[in-house]
C-alpha cells in the first residue's frame, strides 16, 4: 500500500493548508501578513499592492487585461495562490461573474504598514540590563555549533558531546525517514537521510522545523500558534536581546526547543531572562538567496582524487565519510580520497531495501549531483579564486562514470497477462494499456502482454467489463 504523506515545501504551504477560520485568525497579526505577502510570486505581490487601496471587488475579467498574452499562465498561478492563502476572497455575483477583493484584515494590516513603515514585534531590551551581548561572530559560531551537535545527535545518537533537551520520542520523530531504525540492527542512513546531510543548512533546518510543526499537535500545541510564533520570530533583529516575560507559556516552551537547534541563544540576567535570535531564526521565513547564507568553504579536491577538508568539525568528517575514504584526521584537517569503493557505498546508501527498485534511476542522478554540488558549495576560498573549476573536471567525470556503471538496467514492477479468450479482447486490452501509458511489452502471436503494475487495477476493471 503506498504511504500517503503530506509535503509542505515551505512555511507558506503549511499556512495555506490551515482551515479558513484559523487562517483568518492568523491575519490579525501584521507580521504574518507581511511574511505571507513576501512569500507570494512576484506577480501576486504586485496585484495585492495594486488592489490595496481598492475596497470594491474587481472583476476577474478586468484583471486579466493587466497581463500580456505571454503572462496568462503566470497570472493564473498568482491568482490561485492568492485565493489559496485567502489573501484574495472570491466573490461570485448574480450574473455569475467572478470578482476578487483583498481580505479586509490583510488589507488593513498592510495599509498600516505602508503608512507607518515596518516595526519590530517587540521592543529590544536596553543595554543597561543585558550588559554584554554576544557579537555577531560569536552568535554565528554559537548557532553553527548548536546546529551541528544537533545533527550529530540526529545521525548517530551516541556521538554528540552535548545532549539536547528534546525528548527521545521527539528525536525519534526527527529521525523518522532519515534513519532506518530496526530492531537488533545498527541504525542505517536512508536515502532521504543521505540527501539530508548533503543539503545546505536552510533546507535541513526547514525539514526539521516542518517535522516539529507537524508533530506539534501531539504535544498539545496548536500548529497555527506555533507557525505564527515562528514567523513572528523571523522579524526580530538578529543579535538583539528580547525579554522572556513577553512570551506566553507555549512560546516559552517552543523557545527552549529552538535554542537547542541554535535558532535562539538564551541568556540569564540577575532578574530577568532574555533570548537573542541568531541568523538561523531570522532567516526562517524569508526566501533566502544563496548568497546571504553562504558559509566559508573548506574543501579542496585535487585532480588525483585526494580530498583535503580544513575543518575540525566532527559533522563534516561524518559527511565526508559518506562518499569518501577518510584516511587521517589532524586537528584542523581531514584528509581523504574519493575512491570507487567509497562512492559505491554512497550510491548504495542512497537506497534502502524497502524502496521500490524503479526508483533507482532517479535516485542515482540526485546522489551524483548532490555529491558534486556539496563539494562545490563547500569549496575552499583559495580554490574558488583559481580560474579552474572548484572540483577538477576529471573527478566529476569519473564520479559520473562510476555512477552510470551501476544503472545499466532499469527495473519496473509489472504484471503479466496471458490466455486471452480472443484476439479482439487482447487487442482491446493492448490499446487500453497503451492509452493509459502502461504498456511495456506485447506478443500478439501468443497473445501475451506486460503492463506496469500501477495500472493493474485499471486493467482488471477493464477486463472484467469485457466479460
Partner 1 sequence: MVSHIGPVTVMDSAPSKQYSDDVSLVMVLLDTNPFFWGGENTTTKVSFSNFLIHVISFLNSVLLLNQLNQVVVIATGYNSCDYIFDSSTSESLNVSSGNGKMPALCSKMLQKLEEFVIRDEQLSKENSPSGIVSSLLSGSLSLALCYIQKVLRSGRLHPNPRLRDAFFSVVVACLGIGCISFNFIEIELSHLTDINLQILCLQGSPDGPEQYVAVMNAIFSAQRSMVPIDSCIVGVQHSAFLQQASYITGGVYLKPPQLDGLFQYLSTVFATDLHSRSFLQLPKPVGVDFRASCFCHKSTIDMGYICSVCLSIFCKQHKKCSTCGSVFGQANPEVKLPTDRKRKAIDLNAAYN
Selection from 378, 303, 373 nearest residue 334 by Cα: 378
Residue 203 CB, nearest distance to partner 1 (Å)?
4
The least CB distance from residue 410 to partner 1, in Å, is 13
Q: By CB under 8 A, tell whether 376 contacts partner 1.
A: yes
The answer to whether residue 119 forms part of the interface with partner 1 (CB under 8 A) is yes
If one asks whether residue 218 binds partner 1 (CB under 8 A), the answer comes out as no
**Binding residues for partner 1 restricted to 270-329, rule: CB under 8 A:** 284-292, 294
- With both helix axes pointing from N to C terminus, report the angle between 393-406 and 340-349 in degrees, rounded to the nearest 10: 60
113 binds partner 1 (CB under 8 A): yes
Asked whether position 246 contacts partner 1 by CB under 8 A, the answer is: no
- Name which of 196 and 305 has its Cβ closer to partner 1: 196
Residues 46-65 that bind partner 1 (CB under 8 A): 46, 49-50, 52-53, 65
**Residue count of the chain:** 467
Interface region with partner 1, contact rule CB under 8 A, candidates 86-94, 199-207, 307-315, 334-342: 199-207
CA 55 to chain centre: 37
Q: Is residue 187 within 8 Å of 176, Cβ to Cβ?
A: no
Question: Helix 393-406 crosses helix 360-377 at what angle (to 10 degrees)?
Answer: 160
Instruction: Give the span between the Cα atoms of 98 and 101, in whole angstroms.
Output: 10
Does 425 interact with partner 1 (rule: CB under 8 A)? no
Closer residue to partner 1 in complex, CB, 146/201: 201
Of 152, 141, 144, 202, nearest to 174 by C-alpha is 152
CB of 54 to partner 1, least distance (A): 9
Q: Are 282 and 263 in contact (CB under 8 A)?
A: no
How many other β-carbons are positioned within 10 Å of the β-carbon of residue 359?
A: 13
DSSP string, 23-43: HHHHTTSHHHHHHHHHHS-HH
Among 26, 32, 37, 450, binds partner 1 (CB under 8 A): 37
Using CB under 8 A as the binding rule, whether residue 182 contacts partner 1 is answered as no
Choose which of 23, 32, 40, 213 interacts with partner 1 (CB under 8 A).
Answer: 40
**136 lies in the site for partner 1, by CB under 8 A:** no
DSSP 447-459: TEEEEEGGGHHHH
Q: Out of 175, 180, 195, 251, name the contact with partner 1 by CB under 8 A.
A: 195
The footprint of partner 1 on residues 377-396 (CB under 8 A) is: 377, 379, 384-387, 389-391, 393, 396
8 binds partner 1 (CB under 8 A): yes
Q: What are phi and psi of 158, to 5 degrees?
A: -80, -25
Q: Cβ contacts of residue 49 below 8 Å, gap of 6+? A: none
Number of residues that bind partner 1 (CB under 8 A): 94
**Is 244 or 369 the residue whose CB approaches partner 1 more closely?**
369
In a 10 Å sphere around its CB, with 0-12 CB exposed, 13-18 middle and 19+ buried, how is residue 184 labelled?
exposed
Binding part of the chain for partner 1, among 134-142, 269-277, 321-329, 369-377 by CB under 8 A, reads: 369-377
Residue 331 burial (10 A CB sphere; 0-12, 13-18, 19+)? exposed
- Residue among 39 and 311 whose Cβ is closer to partner 1: 39
| Rg of the chain over all Cα atoms, to the nearest angstrom | 27
Stretch that binds partner 1, among 200-208, 245-253, 260-268, 456-464 (CB under 8 A): 200-208
Among 94, 95, 96, 116, binds partner 1 (CB under 8 A): 116
Q: Does 126 bind partner 1 (CB under 8 A)?
A: no
Q: Is 31 among the residues that bind partner 1 (CB under 8 A)? A: no
Amino acid at each position: 500500500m503506498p504511504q500517503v504523506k503530506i509535503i509542505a515545501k515551505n512555511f507558506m504551504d503549511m499556512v495555506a493548508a490551515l482551515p479558513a477560520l484559523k487562517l483568518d485568525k492568523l491575519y490579525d497579526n501584521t507580521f504574518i501578513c507581511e511574511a505571507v505577502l513576501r512569500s507570494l510570486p512576484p506577480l501576486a505581490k504586485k496585484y495585492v499592492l495594486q488592489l490595496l487601496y481598492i475596497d470594491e471587488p474587481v472583476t476577474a475579467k478586468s484583471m486579466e487585461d493587466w497581463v500580456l498574452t505571454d503572462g496568462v499562465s503566470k497570472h493564473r498561478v498568482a491568482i490561485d495562490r492568492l485565493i489559496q492563502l485567502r489573501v484574495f476572497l472570491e466573490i461570485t455575483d448574480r450574473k455569475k461573474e467572478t470578482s476578487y477583493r483583498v481580505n479586509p484584515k490583510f488589507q488593513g494590516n498592510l495599509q498600516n504598514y505602508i503608512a507607518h513603515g515596518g516595526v519590530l514585534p517587540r521592543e529590544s531590551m536596553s543595554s543597561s540590563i543585558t550588559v554584554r551581548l554576544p557579537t555577531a561572530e560569536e552568535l554565528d559560531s554559537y548557532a553553527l555549533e548548536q546546529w551541528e551537535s544537533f545533527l550529530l545527535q540526529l545521525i548517530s545518537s551516541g556521538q554528540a558531546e552535548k545532549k539536547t533537551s528534546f525528548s527521545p520520542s521527539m528525536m525519534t520523530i526527527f529521525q523518522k525517514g532519515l534513519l532506518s531504525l530496526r530492531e537488533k540492527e545498527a541504525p542505517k542512513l536512508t536515502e532521504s537521510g543521505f540527501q539530508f546531510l548533503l543539503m545546505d543548512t536552510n533546507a535541513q533546518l526547514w525539514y526539521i522545523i516542518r517535522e516539529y510543526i507537524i508533530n506539534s499537535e501531539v504535544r498539545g500545541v496548536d500548529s497555527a500558534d506555533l507557525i505564527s510564533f515562528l514567523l513572528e520570530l523571523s522579524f526580530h533583529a538578529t543579535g538583539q536581546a528580547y525579554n522572556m516575560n513577553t512570551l506566553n507559556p507555549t512560546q516559552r516552551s517552543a523557545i527552549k526547543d529552538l535554542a537547542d537547534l541554535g535558532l535562539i541563544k538564551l541568556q540569564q540576567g540577575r532578574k530577568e531572562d532574555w533570548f537573542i535570535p541568531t541568523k538561523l531564526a531570522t532567516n526562517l521565513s524569508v526566501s533566502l538567496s544563496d548568497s546571504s547564507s553562504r558559509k566559508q568553504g573548506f574543501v579542496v579536491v585535487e585532480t588525483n582524487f585526494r580530498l583535503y577538508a580544513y575543518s575540525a568539525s566532527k559533522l563534516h568528517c561524518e559527511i565526508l565519510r559518506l562518499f569518501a575514504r577518510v584516511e587521517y584526521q589532524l586537528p584542523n584537517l581531514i584528509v581523504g580520497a574519493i575512491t570507487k569503493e567509497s562512492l559505491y557505498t554512497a550510491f548504495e546508501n542512497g537506497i534502502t531495501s524497502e524502496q521500490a527498485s524503479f526508483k533507482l534511476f532517479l535516485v542515482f542522478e540526485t546522489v551524483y549531483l548532490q555529491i558534486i554540488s556539496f563539494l562545490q558549495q563547500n569549496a575552499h576560498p583559495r580554490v574558488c579564486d583559481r580560474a579552474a573549476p572548484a572540483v577538477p573536471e576529471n573527478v566529476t567525470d569519473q564520479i559520473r562514470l562510476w555512477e552510470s556503471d551501476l544503472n545499466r538496467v532499469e527495473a519496473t514492477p509489472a504484471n503479466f497477462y496471458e490466455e486471452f479468450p480472443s484476439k479482439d479482447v487482447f487487442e482491446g486490452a493492448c490499446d487500453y494499456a497503451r492509452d493509459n501509458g502502461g504498456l511495456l511489452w506485447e506478443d500478439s502471436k501468443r497473445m501475451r502482454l506486460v503492463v506496469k503494475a500501477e495500472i493493474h487495477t485499471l486493467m482488471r476493471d477493464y477486463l472484467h467489463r469485457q466479460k
